[in-house]
Chain A
């Protein structure tokens, strides 16, 4: 499980507006916005990342432990997978 890597779809456009990321979804007229940790994770997902790597990155940025954020990150990745915004490798 831990060696599964996640990467964002390279064809999705995202732009920054007032510190939020606004991105196109898969369907016509579908858009998502990401802020804070979610926006940060999206940037990290430009490269293939494992859940553990992402937890370490977020823990460093927000001065928390990986145990405090890993479950939330896993849930977020599942949500992104469900919307086909990231892929696994």
Chain B
């Protein structure tokens, strides 16, 4: 129903995650898109009812079929509908940066989920013609690590939200990393020159140095965890452990709700486990630098590449799985 608005000059066009987005809300984080034809996703203002109390999930989220919603205190409501439309209902007078933060986070993340992607909470960076993703909880140092990869000249695909499509390709998002001011200081950036993520929070957008990127096959998954040991170690994960890690670090995994969504998510995770190696990066609670973490991750990738390159293809001598459910 937004088609009729395409002629409206207040609708701006952007590209993100391989989609063309037509938005009534200016999104300066995103690359502008040309043309005035079909948009994959439209973003518009509209009035939204509160989520049905029966459907409420934790953290202000709700899901009803192919509609995902979130109510953000002091910001407003958002609904992602069917993977093609996002409706935003901000509270009066809210700073537009705060509105954009949840629009570019939860609302776009939910949209990618509704479009059939496995949406992971982490950062991804390019390794040759493939990519790796680093997953971790908020505060685990993911973004600082992404900035470290960027500093070393790696192309960072996206920050925070990594959608993986049905073919196992990670989709590049917007070329910015959100960093706290102290992390910026450690990396030698001056936060005065950067835009705040949120009007009242000392977190800033650091522009990435990369140019345009195509979707890249996701080959390596690293999960940042803390442990009580003294050493920084990388441990393989398999099977159900890999699944539980992917589930835990699925972006806004509360929205994987209901039998259909859960079955699709389980299938997406199984497909990813077939294609990518999942590893846990166990870091001592104290004194863990982004530099040291980047070093062990890159060393692990290099070791894996030297193995698989010498064989040309990753080993696939497993018998075909007889376990596919027909039900």
- Chain A residues in the interface with B (C-beta under 8 A): 10-24, 28-29, 31, 33, 35, 39, 43
Contact = CB atoms under 8 A, between A and B. Distances in A.
A15 B323 contact: yes
7 pairs of A and B residues whose beta carbons are closest in the complex:
A33-B240, A20-B239, A15-B270, A18-B239, A16-B323, A18-B238, A10-B327
A31 B323 contact: no
B321 interface: yes
A57 to B, nearest CB: 14
B214 interface: no
B267 A15 contact: yes
A32 to B, nearest CB: 8
Interface stretch (B153-161, B174-182, B241-249): B241-249
Contacts of B297: none
Interface of B: 238-240, 242-244, 247, 257-259, 262-263, 266-267, 269-270, 273-274, 318, 321-325, 327
B273 A17 contact: yes
A22 B325 CA distance: 11
A12 B239 contact: no
A6 to B, nearest CB: 16
Chain B residues touching A, majority SS: helix
Given A15-B267, A31-B247, A21 B327 contact: no
Contacts of A24: 259, 262-263, 266
B325 A17 contact: no
Q: Which of A11, A15, A19: most chain B Cβ within 10 A?
A: A15
Given A17-B273, A24-B266, A31 B327 contact: no
A85 B247 CA distance: 21
B242 A43 contact: no
B286 to A, nearest CB: 33
Contacts of B239: 17-20, 22, 33, 35
A11 B70 CA distance: 30
A12 B259 CA distance: 9
B113 to A, nearest CB: 16
Contacts of A17: 238-240, 242-243, 269-270, 273-274
Contacts of A12: 325, 327
Q: Which of B247, B269, B270: most chain A Cβ within 10 A?
A: B270
Given A17-B269, A22-B266, A11 B242 contact: no
Contact of B244 (A13, A28, A31): A31
B78 to A, nearest CB: 22
B242 A28 contact: no
A23 B321 CA distance: 15
Contacts of A11: 259, 327
A13 B318 CA distance: 22
Nearest to B272: A17
Q: Which of A24, A28, A35: most chain B Cβ within 10 A?
A: A28
Contacts of B274: 17
27 contacts: A11-B259, A11-B327, A12-B325, A13-B262, A13-B266, A13-B325, A14-B325, A15-B266, A15-B270, A15-B325, A16-B323, A17-B239, A17-B274, A18-B238, A19-B239, A20-B239, A21-B323, A22-B239, A22-B269, A23-B266, A28-B262, A29-B262, A33-B243, A35-B239, A39-B323, A43-B322, A43-B323
Contacts of A28: 257-258, 262
A33 B273 CA distance: 15
B263 A13 contact: yes
Contacts of B262: 13, 24, 28-29
A35 B323 CA distance: 12
Nearest to B257: A28
A28 B261 CA distance: 10
